[in-house]
C-alpha cells in the first residue's frame, strides 16, 4: 500500500428525499441502501465502502432530518446527528433550489458548530437550468461557508467522479479500515429485510409505509435455493388488510418484487414467504423498536 494512501469516513446528511441513498448506491456501484419516493425511507445509519488504489472512503448514509412525531423518528434524527461526530468529511446533500426550508436551515445550524470539512452536494442538477443551479449555490453559500460545492446528478451519474476526488482530498493518510473487497458491513439479513420494506414502500400508499417494519425470521440454504421467511409488521388491523390485499394480491406483488432483488443479492434462487403481523404503536415502544432493529439506546451502528 502506498504511503500516500488515504482512508476515512464521509457522512451524508440532508432532508428526506434529496437522494442520499441513490447517490451512495451510485458511488458504490451496488444497491445497499433502499430508495423510494416516500420520505423517511432510510431509518438507520448505513455504512458502505468505496476502495481504489489511492484511497478508501467509508460512507455513512443517514436518515433524513425531519420533525419527529414518535420514538422511531427521534431515533432516526439522533442517528443522523451522531454520525457527524464520526466523520472526516461531511456531505450536505440538497436539491437545486434557492428556497431553503426550515429543515435545511436546521442542518446548517448543526454544521455551523462543526470543525469537520463540509462539502455542499447539490443533487438532481439534471432537473434544473444552469441559472437555477447558480442561484442555489449562491443561496447556500451565503448562509454557511462550505469547503467545497459539488453539483451532481445521482440518477444520471453526472459529476460523480469529481465528487469522489473531492472527498478523497479531505481524508487523512492511513491504512484501510476494511479489506478491498468489502462493500458494506450490513448483515445480509438486514439488507434482505430492507429490500422487502422498499418494495412495500413502493407498492403501498398513504400513511401505511411509515408504520411498517420487516423482520427476517429464517434464512436457510439448501441445494440450489435459499428459503427466506419474513414478517411485515404494521400498526393497525386495517393496515394489515391493505398490505395483504384482495385475495393476497398486494402481499404477492410485494413478495415477487422483493424476491428478484434478494436473488441478486444472494446469487441464488429464493423461496420467499411473507407474513403480516399487527403490533399497535410499535414506533413508540422501546421494546418493540429494539426487537425490530432500532434500539433507542443503542450506538446507531
Residues 170-190: what's their mean pLDDT? Answer: 91
The closest of 152, 148, 197, 265 to 34, measured between CA atoms, is: 197
Place of cell 469522489: 164
Bridge partner residues of 119 (DSSP): 91, 148
Report how far apart, in Å, the C-alpha atoms of 218 and of each of 190, 230, 243 are: 12, 7, 21
Mean pLDDT of 279-297: 84
Q: What is the mean pLDDT of residues 90-115?
A: 91
pLDDT, residue 39, reads: 46
What is the overall mean pLDDT for the chain? 87
- Going by C-beta distance under 8 Å and a sequence separation of 6 or more, which residues neighbour residue 47? 58, 59, 60, 61, 184, 185, 186, 301
**56 and 92 Cβ atoms separated by less than 8 Å:** no
Q: How confident is the model over 264-291, as a mean pLDDT?
A: 92
CA-based nearest residue to 189, from 269, 293, 43? 293
CA distance 259 to 242: 20
Range 137-158 average pLDDT: 96
Report the C-alpha gap between 84 and 9 in whole angstroms: 10
pLDDT band at 286 (very low <50, low <70, confident <90, very high): confident
What is the pTM for the complete model shown?
Answer: 0.75
Q: What is the pLDDT of residues 188-236, one digit of tens each?
A: 898 899 899 889 988 887 657 678 899 999 999 999 999 999 999 999 9
Domains of the chain: 6-169 (3.40.50.300), 188-291 (3.30.300.20)
Strand 118-122, strand 213-222: pairing:
unpaired
Strand order across the beta sheet in which 118-122 lies: 46-51, 55-61, 6-13, 89-94, 118-122, 148-151
Higher model confidence: residue 232 or residue 39? 232
CA pair distance 279, 226, nearest whole angstrom: 28
What's the per-residue H, E or C state across the chain? CCCCCEEEEEEEECCCCCCHHHHHHHHHCCCCCCCCCCCCCCCCCEEEEEECCCEEEEEEECCCCCCCCCHHHHHHHHHHHHHHHHCCEEEEEECCCCCCCHHHHHHHHHHHCCCCCEEEEECCHHHCCHHHHHHHHHHHHHHCCCCEEEECECCCCECHHHHHHHHHHCCCECCCCCCCCCCECCCHHHHHHHHHHHHHHHHCCCCHHHHCEEEEEEEEEECCEEEEEEEEEECCHHHHHHHHCHHHHHHHHHHHHHHHHHHHHHCCEEEEEEEEEECCCHHHCHHHHHHCCCCCCCCCC
Which of 272, 285, 289 minimizes the C-alpha distance to 193? 272
Residue 220 and residue 204: Cα distance in Å, rounded?
A: 28
Q: Among 51-65, 142-156, 224-238, 267-281, which is the least confidently predicted range?
A: 51-65
**Residue 73: band (very low, low, confident or very high) from pLDDT cuts 50, 70, 90:** low
Check: CB of residue 197 under 8 Å from CB of residue 35: no
Amino acid at each position: 500500500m502506498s504511503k500516500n494512501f488515504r482512508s476515512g469516513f464521509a457522512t451524508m446528511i440532508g432532508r428526506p428525499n434529496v437522494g442520499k441513498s441513490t447517490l451512495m448506491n451510485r458511488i458504490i456501484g451496488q444497491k445497499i441502501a433502499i430508495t423510494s419516493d416516500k420520505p423517511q425511507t432510510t431509518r438507520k445509519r448505513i455504512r458502505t465502502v468505496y476502495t481504489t488504489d489511492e484511497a478508501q472512503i467509508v460512507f455513512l448514509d443517514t436518515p433524513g432530518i425531519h420533525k419527529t412525531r414518535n420514538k422511531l423518528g427521534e431515533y432516526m434524527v439522533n442517528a443522523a446527528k451522531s454520525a457527524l461526530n464520526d466523520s472526516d468529511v461531511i456531505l450536505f446533500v440538497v436539491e437545486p433550489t434557492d428556497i431553503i426550508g426550515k429543515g435545511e436551515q436546521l442542518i446548517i445550524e448543526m454544521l455551523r458548530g462543526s470543525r469537520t470539512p463540509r462539502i455542499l452536494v447539490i443533487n438532481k442538477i439534471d432537473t434544473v437550468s444552469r441559472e437555477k443551479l447558480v442561484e442555489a449555490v449562491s443561496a447556500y453559500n451565503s448562509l454557511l461557508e462550505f469547503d467545497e460545492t459539488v453539483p451532481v446528478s445521482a440518477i444520471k451519474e453526472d459529476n460523480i467522479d469529481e465528487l469522489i476526488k473531492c472527498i478523497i482530498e479531505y481524508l487523512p493518510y492511513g491504512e484501510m479500515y476494511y479489506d478491498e473487497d468489502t462493500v458494506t458491513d450490513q448483515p445480509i439479513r438486514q439488507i434482505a429485510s430492507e429490500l422487502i420494506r422498499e418494495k412495500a414502500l413502493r407498492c403501498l400508499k398513504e400513511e401505511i409505509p411509515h408504520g411498517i417494519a420487516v423482520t427476517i425470521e429464517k434464512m436457510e440454504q439448501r441445494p440450489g435455493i435459499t428459503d427466506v421467511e419474513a414478517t411485515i409488521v404494521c400498526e393497525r388491523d386495517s393496515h394489515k388488510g391493505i398490505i395483504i390485499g384482495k385475495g393476497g394480491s398486494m402481499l404477492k406483488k410485494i413478495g415477487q418484487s422483493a424476491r428478484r432483488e434478494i436473488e441478486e443479492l444472494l446469487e441464488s434462487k429464493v423461496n420467499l414467504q411473507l407474513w403480516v403481523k399487527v403490533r399497535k404503536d410499535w414506533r413508540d415502544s422501546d421494546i418493540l423498536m429494539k426487537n425490530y432493529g432500532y434500539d433507542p439506546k443503542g450506538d446507531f451502528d
